[in-house]
Amino acid sequence: MNGKEVQQVLVLIKPDGLKKSLTGNIITKLSEAKLTIIGAKVVKPSRDLAEEHYKQLKNQIFFDNLIKYIRGDLHGEPYKRVLALVYKGEDAIKKLRTIAGATNPEDADPVSIRGAYGRIMRSGLFENVIHCSSDPIEAEREIKLWFQPDEITEEIYPSKKIIQKNIQAKVWEK
């Protein structure tokens, strides 16, 4: 052990990443960080989920556009979705954010994901392919927003079992 903190990170491959068929490429690039994937699913973000995810940016002029972007409204069907992943490992946040690159694709290292594949839209919004949590507190908040405890292969945060009555659920017909 080199004493580095084990961290979890929420990664989202945004609708532009899916539309550009970059999923495999991005996961391969992120694997250079030698972390473990402990959760993965495709999500069509509701407005509530999108707004909660980006709530710190609520006062920014680009907020409405950002919500449209992450929900895929700017990319149309069948791209109204994101691939949500949870990574775990030593110093995971810094490692993944370095591979992802700077927020503004023009400032990002050209060999980073955002530098190679991001662009600035006509509206000025940074269409930057990928989201990565920025610190451990944000990571915990975001992971709990996007994933339930059973969808993650490890007990990363304390959970509890409850019995829910009269809860409607969709199940397979056969």
Verify binding: residue 131, ligand UDP, rule CB under 6 A. Answer: yes
Residue 102 near residue 31, CB atoms below 8 Å: no
Q: Are 69 and 18 in contact (CB under 8 A)?
A: no
Set 95, 131, 132, 139: catalytic member: 131
Q: How far, CA to CA in Å, does 128 sit from each of 103, 105, 173, 174?
A: 7, 6, 40, 41
Looking at the Cβ atoms of 38 and 66, the one nearer to ligand UDP is: 66
Residues 68-87 that bind ligand UDP (CB under 6 A): none
CB 124 within 8 A of CB 66: no
Binding mask 23-62 for Mg ion (x = CB under 5 A): ----------------------------------------
Answer for which of 86, 117, 128, 146 binds ligand UDP (CB under 6 A) is 128
- Tell me the two tokens of residue 146: 């996007």
Q: Name the 3-class secondary structure at 34.
A: coil
Name the DSSP class of 5. Answer: P
Contacts of 143 (CB under 8 A, 6+ apart): 8, 10, 39, 86, 133, 152, 156, 157
Residue 63 vs 149, nearer CB to Mg ion: 63
123 belongs to the binding site for ligand UDP (CB under 6 A): no
Residue 25 or 134: the one with the smaller Cβ distance to Mg ion is 134
Contact between 66 and ligand UDP per CB under 6 A: yes
Task: Identify whether 53 is a catalytic site residue.
Answer: no
How far, in Å, CA of 75 to CA of 65, rounded?
12
Site for ligand UDP in 7-46 (CB under 6 A): none
Is 53 a binding residue for ligand UDP by CB under 6 A? The answer is no
Closest approach, Cβ 46 to ligand UDP, in A, equals: 18
- What residues contact residue 165 under an 8 Å CB cut-off, 6+ apart? none
Q: If you search the block for the tokens 């959970």, which residue do you land on?
A: 159
User: What is the set of active-site residues?
Assistant: 131
Binding site for ligand UDP (CB under 6 A): 57, 62, 66, 103, 125-126, 128, 131, 134
